[in-house]
Amino acid sequence: ETTQSVQHVDALVVGAGFGGIYQLYALRQLGLSVKVIDVAADVGGTWFWNTYPGAMSDTESFVYRYTWDKEDLQNYPWSHHYTRQPDVLAYLNHVVKRHDLRKHMDFNTELMAAEWSSDEKVWNVDVSTGIRYKARYLITALGLLSRKNYPDIAGLDSFQGLMCHTAAWDPSIDLNNKRVGVIGCGSTGVQVITEVAKIVKQLVCFQRHPQYSVPSGDRPVSPEYRKMVNETYDEIIAGVRDSAFGFGFKESQRSYDSFSPEEREEIFEQLWAKGNGFRFMGGGFNDIVKDPEKARKLQPHDYYARRPLCDGGYYEQFNRENVSIVDLKETPIKCITPNGIMTSDGLEHQLDVIIFATGFDAIDGNYTRVKIRGANGESLKDHWKAGPTSYMGTNIPHFPNLFMITGPQGPFCNIPAAVEAHVEFVTETIKKAEEVSTNDSPAIVEATEQAEADWGKVCEKAVEGSLFKETASWIFGSNIPGKPVALRFYFGGLGSFRAEVKKVAEGGYAGFKPFVAGEQARL
């Protein structure tokens, strides 16, 4: 304890992905001293860890990037309409280098515990390298999808072959000519299956819920297209910020009933040809698998209300002789054996490698595993016992000067766009707080309990009538046994979210306690 090294910083940012990088840049612009820590060995967040074959962002390239560096936006190359993992990672490294941010970052450094000291008015943050940071502001940019879900399947440890989770991919695994099982057919499973089907000897896909997937429409970017995007970037960004999903297209305002069956067919055809899951959401066809038994198993039967998927030829892979599909509703996994996976029909699927594409303990999963303790001694885990809550996805009552980037009950949309909305609000708020701060009374930014409760109601109202809550997925937390099923997003759309946040920032910070006692009028 006594030998522990103590370092003072204005702000400590946890996470060096899309959120942490921008937050660092923005706080440096304010002139604050900032330290970014990340448990990973380098920058990238999600894109550092998810190096599995086929990993790609399914947001189109032109809007899967930062918008705050206009020059870079014009000049940074993207060869395809979608960006694959190595390219997203290269982009983030490029941004870090371009703005000389690496010197503020410490890697291989894990957040162990953070506790607010009401006396000192700082966060005491202990990290795995033995340093204790004293930070006036703590900003968590932990990512929505970072804590892995490794299902607890009987016999898991007995398997003699190789096992790997897609979010901790081991690049030394050679899948060529191997017998491979993939558990999970969500966004990740669809990508990995599509990519490896052609190189493996045999691929057995273990699927619990078939999901709807449409073509991504990926193709090389033509110079004319890039020119058009560059010339209209301002309008594109304005459109993203004003839309619901932030994916770079305007959500439809037309109703299904106002069109004839032929016209609907035509609309579906156009969407299909254009590609992208979010764009397509609203209908789907998947009559392209030739084997009727495989096609039956792949056919979704739930509402089209999970995260929409898209792919580069997923269903076509099932026309290969070496690719099969196991419907886990019909024949659940009984156990993992030394040789493979045994299903309830007594069949032992012989495998060399098992890939877990089983997703994440999403959103709050990364928060509740570390001890973050607020002003009243309560831990975040306790505060979120019934499900995670917040004010606008950034602030939590009793956790002063803690800001979350893409925290629970933030907007459900394209992540870089959500990150920018949060980082800009947090930066603006810290700027205001700094203005009223004095050495004797440093500013304290704390949401009220009322504001948190009211925001919860806003979120409830925004999801009313939506089918999202009728389907089980990570979005509501139902993919993890024992996790409280709760509303974890604001579904009102990015445009409305930005408007709400702007109202708060420009309207004297309703929903927050005065930053400095008696100083509310100055905000």
Where do contacts with ligand NA7 occur on this chain (CB under 6 A)? Answer: 145, 151, 183-189, 206, 208-209, 307, 328, 357-360, 474, 479
Q: Which is nearer to ligand NA7, 26 or 354 (CB)?
A: 354
**Please, which residue, 78 or 474, has the CB nearer to ligand NA7?**
474
The residue (of 374 and 493) whose beta carbon lies closer to ligand NA7 is: 493
Residue nearest to ligand NA7 (CB): 186
Distance of CA 452 to the CA centre of its chain: 22
Compute the least distance from the CB of residue 458 to ligand NA7, in Å. 23
Closest approach of ligand NA7 to the CB of residue 381, in Å: 22
Output the smallest distance, CB 40 to ligand NA7, in A. Answer: 17
Q: What's the gap between Cα 177 and its chain centre?
A: 33
Q: How far is CA 434 from the centre of its chain?
A: 30
Minimum Å gap between C-beta 89 and ligand NA7 is 15
CB of 404 vs ligand NA7, minimal distance in Å = 18
Residue 28 tokens, joined? 């440096």
- Between 189 and 217, CB nearer to ligand NA7: 189
Query: What is the Cα–Cα distance from 288 to 396, expressed in whole angstroms?
Result: 48
Q: How would you label 294-323 residue by residue, b for 16+ Cβ within 10 Å and e otherwise?
A: bbebbeeeeebbbbbbbbbebbbbbeeeeb
Number of Cβ within 10 Å of residue 159's Cβ equals 19
The separation between CA 262 and the C-alpha centre of its own chain, rounded to angstroms, equals 37
Smallest separation, CB 13 to ligand NA7 (Å): 23
Amino acid at 432: K
- Calculate helix-pair angle for 233-242, 223-231, nearest 10 degrees: 70
**CB 417 to ligand NA7: min, Å:** 14
User: CB-wise, 104 or 147, nearer to ligand NA7?
Assistant: 147
* Of 53 and 186, CB closest to ligand NA7: 186
Block residue for tokens 């409305």: 496
- Listed as own residue / partner, the contacts of 151-158 with beta carbons closer than 8 Å and 24 or more positions apart are 151/183, 151/356, 151/358, 152/481, 153/333, 153/335, 153/336, 154/334, 154/335, 154/336, 155/335, 155/336, 155/337, 155/342, 156/336, 158/336, 158/337, 158/338
Q: How far is the CB of 487 from ligand NA7 (least distance, A)?
A: 17
Q: Which is nearer to ligand NA7, 102 or 148 (CB)?
A: 148
What's the N-to-C CA distance of the chain in angstroms? 40
Beta carbon of residue 188, minimum distance to ligand NA7 (angstroms, whole number): 3
Phi then psi for residue 512, to 5 deg, are -115, 150
CB 405 within 8 A of CB 20: yes
Strand 131-140 relative to strand 5-14, pairing: parallel
CA 129 to chain centre: 27
Q: Cβ 186 to ligand NA7, closest distance in Å? A: 2
* Other Cβ atoms closer than 10 A to 429: 24
Shortest Cβ 287–ligand NA7 spacing (Å): 21
The nearer residue to ligand NA7, 50 or 140, going by C-beta atoms, is 50
Q: Which is nearer to ligand NA7, 52 or 515 (CB)?
A: 52
Q: Which is nearer to ligand NA7, 36 or 328 (CB)?
A: 328
- Listed in sequence order, the residues at least 6 apart from 437 whose beta carbon sits closer than 8 Å to its beta carbon are 443, 515, 516
Q: Phi and psi (nearest 5°) for 161?
A: -85, -160
Cβ closest to ligand NA7, residue 374 vs residue 388: 388
